[in-house]
Each structure stands twice: as C-alpha cells, then as structure tokens.
A and B are shown apart, each in its own frame.
Chain A
Amino acid sequence: MRVTSNTYTNLVISSSQTEQQQLALLQNQISTGNSIQNPSDNPAVYAQAAQDQTTLSQLENYTSAANTATTLTEQNNTAMTSLHQIVAQAGEYLASVTSNMSTSDMQDLGTEMTSLVSELTSIVNQKGSDGNYLFGGTANQPPIDTTTGDYNSAANGTTTSIEVEPGTPVQTSIAAGKPGTDGFLYDSASGTDVLAALKQAASDLNSGNATAAQGADVTAVNNALNLVSSYVGSTAANMSAVSLATTRLSAQTTTQSNTLNNLVQTNLPAASVQLQQLESQYQASLEAGTRVMNLSILDYMGTVTTP
C-alpha cells in the first residue's frame, strides 16, 4: 500500500485518541472507586448490581424493622416476666393461708394481694416510649379501667406483627384480653381470668374466707400462673426469633454488600497495573509516531546540482 505523509499523522492521532480514552477511563475508575459509572459501561454488570443494590436496601430496611421488633419483643417479655412474678407471689400468699389463721392476718394478706392487683394494673396499662398502650390491642386503650378496676371495653385483643425477613412476620405485640377476647389476662378455652382471680383472692382474704382462699382461689391463681407462664414462653420465643433474624440479616447484609462492592468497585491493584501498562504503551506510541513523522527527505536534500 502506498503510504503518504498524512498516514503517519492520522495514525498518531488515532492511536493517541484510543489510548487517551482508555487512560481517562482508568483514571476515572481509580479516582471514583467504581469500575462502572454509567449503566452502559457494562450493562450485564449493571443489571446484576442494580438487583444486588435493591436486595441490599431491602435487607437494610428489614434490619431497621428487626431493631424495632427487638425492642418491642423485649418489652413484652419483661412485662410478662414481671406479671409472672406477681401471680406467683399471689400464689405464695394463698399458700400461706391456714385454717386457723386469724382474720387480721388474712386481711394483711388481702392488703398485699390488693397491692399485687395494683402492680398488675400498672404493668398491664403501661405505655411504650412512643406513648402508646402496649397491651390494649390495636385500639391504643388501657386494658384495665383504673376507675372501675375492671377490663376496659374499648381495648381489643388484636395483636400486631413486624416483618423482620421477607414473608416472615414476628408477633411484636400481645394483648391483655378481656372476657370474650383472649389475651394474657383472659383465656376463654380454660376459662382463666387473671385479673378476676387476683381480685377474688384479695376479696376472700379481706373477708377472712379461708376456705375459698385455700380452695377455689388457689386453683384460679394457679390457672392464671399457667396462662401467664405460657406468655412468658411465647414472648421469649418471639424475642429469640427476632434475634435469630437479626443475626441472619447482618450476615446477609455483609455478604450482599461485599458482593455489590466486588461487582461495582474498582479493583485498585489491577487497575494500577493496567494504568502503568497503558502509560508505557502510550509513551511508546508517541515516541514511535514522533520519530517517524520527523523523518523527511528534506533533511537529506542539499542544493540540487545541474548536470
């Protein structure tokens, strides 16, 4: 092929453009830390990275939800543990009643029992840090009417859940319940009524009814203890479920984050080596181009002598 003077110039411009584009790309990758900036840099990688990014965002959202669920399930379990202690204490008071106990001593126990009912009311009607009643169902009402000391009809037994993993809700609220609505104070299947059991026991003790205190009241308080115990267990199970989910979410988030970073972020050692290679190539290209372009017959032409 015939080579003309502009062939060299065009070659130098063309190769210089190509190498400078590659240098600019590498410089960008190293300075931003991302191997791709625009989706078109690598559509296949982008598609994968975008999905990973969505998954990562979802994991972060679930982690946030799990943190809230942790707080709520711990609150529930703490409340049930306290309630269990109250009912157990009530059982101990009843167990201490003897047939020959004086009326005065029984009234003292009745006073203690009434205090336990107050403590129970305080626990059951407690509010969370957000000011909402914890155990009044979704109605945000106190389960026990402090004026009458009886169940509040405005409360309901609806519990709530939080999704801590995709498709995995964990119960994060428990309801006190009321006659006709099951909860940790009332169970329609066994006919257990915790509030009524303690109030009846206090009443019998105050009235000196040892027979009732040693018989029906003990049975009722034992049933109440069983009901509350089951809630201590279920709230502990919920707490454990959230804890396990949190651990899994943390591991998945770390893995997903690493996957995304490996996919999108620049491999700095490899990019640095590539940059050095490209620099050398560019220098060689410029040197070769400059040398060839400098060659000219004009440098060798002297004065033309006439024959």
Chain B
Amino acid sequence: MNPANHQIDQDQLVIRIKAREAEAFSYLYDHYSAAIYGSISRIINDEDVAQEVLQDAFMKFWDKIEQYDSSKGRFFTWMVNISRNLAIDRLRSKEMKKAGKTANIETYVSGIERDNLSHLSVDTIGLKEMLKSLREEEQFILEMVYFKGYTQSEISKEFDIPLGTIKTRLKMALKNIRTVLQIE
C-alpha cells in the first residue's frame, strides 16, 4: 500500500474531526484502526489490554485533535505516537514489562511470525519480502524499536550495543524499506 494515497484523506479528516463530525470519526476508525491496533498489539501481548489501549487511543484522537499540529508532521505519525505511548505507559504501569519484553538476541523471533498477527489485513508476503531485504541486525533493531516499543537508549543498555550503531541500523532499516516500497 502506498501511504501517500492517504494524504488528502488525512488532512480532510483532521478538518472534519475538528468539526466534531461523527461520520469522520467512523471513517477514521475504518481506515486506520487496523494499522494502529497492529502497532499496539505488538507492544502489548494481552489481547484484552491491547483492545482497551486501542479504545483509549481513538478517544484521545477525538478529544485531543486540537493538539495536532500539521506543521510538525503527518496525522498518522501523531496518531501512531499517541498509541505507542499509551501502550508503553500501560505496559509499565501494569508491571507487564517483564512479560512483554522477554526478547533477547538469542530468543528473538521475528514479530511477524507471531500468532496474534495471523489475521493480518494486508499482504504478509510483501512484508516478509520487505523484512528479508534487511540485514539481520537491522531487522533486530526495527523489531525492538518499532514492534516492541523499546526506546533506542533502552536497547543500547539492555543489549549493550552503542547508541550510534543502533541509530545507524534503524536508519538503514527504514531506508531499505523505503527502497522496497519505492517511496523515494
């Protein structure tokens, strides 16, 4: 999927949500809940908790829409960061941290293989191809940062990898994904 297709929708949606249009909220949910839920459920393994966070996130999109500033980034980036932060806060508050973040370099299994992602709404093959184009260490950093909600400095401490190396690898990973998806 080419995310650029969403650009007009996103800007229009923001205007309509600011105007408190319930239809716009419904549209937002229909089109973005799966992408948002994916981001949350990779951080929180417990399905019930992940669903609560999803609801909190959408209520926050609706209630805090005035805080979104389009000059500072895309609407989706704003939404996904709110969702990730809610998920990470929940993980920490419930002391679920240990259960959620048991991965280490030896036991880490690519998150896309996990059961709860078996009902992916978009093509898994494309994603696997995409991840295959990454080097193993790039995949690992992307997994930890993007799929598991670690900050880059947390990975640095926990796995004893220099922060600069992590930044470079994350950069390369995202760059390769761009190349595969032809965003450049």
Q: Do A and B come from one complex?
A: no
